[in-house]
């Protein structure tokens, strides 16, 4: 699937998602994990990211990262079961990378999956885009218009891209 914008939030077409707004980019048995554009916008300015230790075991559904924004602390649930083999050390000094680049420089950790077929339980990009469209609609009950989800990223002016948001 191509990248799409749903109600102002970018959804990348190349990865899996969870209902809790985490993304999973699968490379062989490794699952790179982060939070979505919608999640980072909901959290607002991120000031600390509490990462797991390398080598730590994690189970699908466990809180394995905590993200502190100015207003809140949000748990990030491990989307899969396995061992943490890499964490994004850049976030120690620059936690706001999660705001600026949630799908790239702001990734959180890489988990080596104990059962790579587990990804089949995750949402596809299409599923997540639909879920997001429903959420956006609920959040804006005043607006009658349908939330478009098929917009291609190339048609969106740059300033509307989540990760291009000026800070």
The residues of the shown chain that bind other proteins, judged by CB under 8 A, are 41, 44-45, 47-48, 66, 68-71, 73, 165-167
As measured in angstroms, the least distance from the Cβ of 144 to other proteins is 15
Q: Which of residues 54 and 71 has its CB atom nearest to other proteins in the complex? A: 71
As measured in angstroms, the least distance from the Cβ of 47 to other proteins is 4
Burial track 23-60 (b if 16+ CB lie within 10 A, e otherwise)? bbbbeeebbbbbbbbbbbebbeebeebebbeeebebeb
As measured in angstroms, the least distance from the Cβ of 68 to other proteins is 5
**Coil, strand or helix: which one is 120?**
helix
Residue 53: strand pairing partners: none
Q: Which of residues 53 and 70 has its CB atom nearest to other proteins in the complex? A: 70
Q: Which of residues 44 and 148 has its CB atom nearest to other proteins in the complex? A: 44
Nearest-angstrom CA–CA distance, 71 and 52: 22
Q: Which of residues 120 and 166 has its CB atom nearest to other proteins in the complex? A: 166
As measured in angstroms, the least distance from the Cβ of 77 to other proteins is 15
Nearest-angstrom CA–CA distance, 72 and 123: 26
């Amino acid at each position: 699937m191509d990248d799409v914008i749903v109600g102002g939030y970018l959804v990348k077409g190349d990865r899996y998602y969870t209902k809790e707004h985490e993304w999973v980019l699968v490379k062989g048995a490794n699952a790179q994990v982060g939070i979505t554009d919608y999640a980072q916008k909901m959290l607002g300015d991120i000031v600390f990211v509490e990462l797991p230790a390398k080598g730590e075991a994690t189970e699908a559904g466990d809180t394995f990262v905590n993200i502190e924004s100015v207003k809140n602390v949000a748990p990030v649930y491990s989307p899969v079961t396995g061992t943490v083999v890499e964490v994004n050390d850049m976030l120690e000094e620059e936690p706001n990378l999660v705001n600026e680049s949630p799908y790239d420089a702001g990734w959180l950790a890489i988990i080596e999956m104990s059962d790579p077929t587990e990804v089949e339980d995750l949402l596809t990009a299409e599923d997540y885009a639909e879920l997001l469209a429903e959420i956006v609609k609920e959040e804006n009950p005043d607006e009658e218009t349908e939330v478009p989800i098929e917009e291609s990223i190339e048609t969106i002016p740059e300033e509307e891209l989540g990760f291009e948001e000026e800070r």
